Amino acid sequence: MMADVAQVETLRHFRIPGLVADNKWSVGFDPVTEADRAAELAMRKVLAEMRPDDAILGEEFGYSEGTSGLTWVLDPIDGTRGYISGSPTWGVLISVRDETGPFFGMICQPYIGERFIGGLGGAWMDGPHGRLDLTTRAARPLSEATLLTTFPAIGTPVEKSAFDNVKKQVQLTRYGMDCYGYALLAAGQVDLVIEAGLQAYDVQAPIAVVQAAGGVVTDWRGNPAHEGGRMLAAANAEIHAAALEILQQAGE
């Protein structure tokens, strides 16, 4: 139901002339739109009615306390830069976590009509081809791998250097994916997603979906990445280990 209401609010404004984007940063550009706020408020309303004891962490309206031990983590539009550019690589991120981390997540792309779902024993997608199981790619050498990220100038100069060292080893690198890159990883289309500078609401749904599909997700030291920061998502343990060995050379 949360995905349904978020779909209504995000599509209401997508590719519609006159959409205004406010800048959340004093230096640089981090846009937020009426659609971001409306979608999160709509999802919060659903949770207030159906799960009133659960906590909520949302990108636009912060943290709301709960008593159940569960927290819903919401990113109403992951990839607002893509959204305001008319690109269909943005998505709605919904996940739920306990004290151990996210155990169920959904990556929704309303314009294409795709939902990638993972956790509680299953991983599947619904889209134009119907319902399909999600399974990540089998192991292959880095030299045959496809790598995705959102920005070419990833993170700090040190982080970009580490990313570039992986990039030099792979067959193909593509940019501008936002959360859709993790969906493609879970669907077995690519091998790696490497990013930095992320927040908890950026990563928790992708972690749940990718892991449920058979992938491996950690930070650049091999530790849990639940709170964001540096993220390495891989199709399998073998290619994860190969990329991790390179990324571990990055400084703190």
Cα-based distances in Å from 162 to 167, 199, 231: 9, 20, 12
Pairing state between β 146-148 and 192-199: parallel
164 is in an annotated binding site: no
59 in a labelled binding site? yes
- Is 75 marked as a binding-site residue? yes
Q: Please name the residues in contact with 175: beta carbons below 8 A apart, sequence gap of 6 or more.
A: 148, 149, 150, 151, 152
Q: Is 99 annotated as a binding residue?
A: no
Proportion of the chain in helix, strand, coil states, percent, rounded to 5: 30, 30, 40
252 is in an annotated binding site: no
Distance of CA 10 to the CA centre of its chain: 17
CA angle 112, 35, 127 (to 5 degrees): 15
Contact assessment for residue 86 and residue 101, using Cβ atoms and an 8 Å cutoff: no
Per the annotation, binding residues for Mg(2+) are 59, 75, 77-78, 202
Per the annotation, binding residues are 59, 75, 77-78, 202
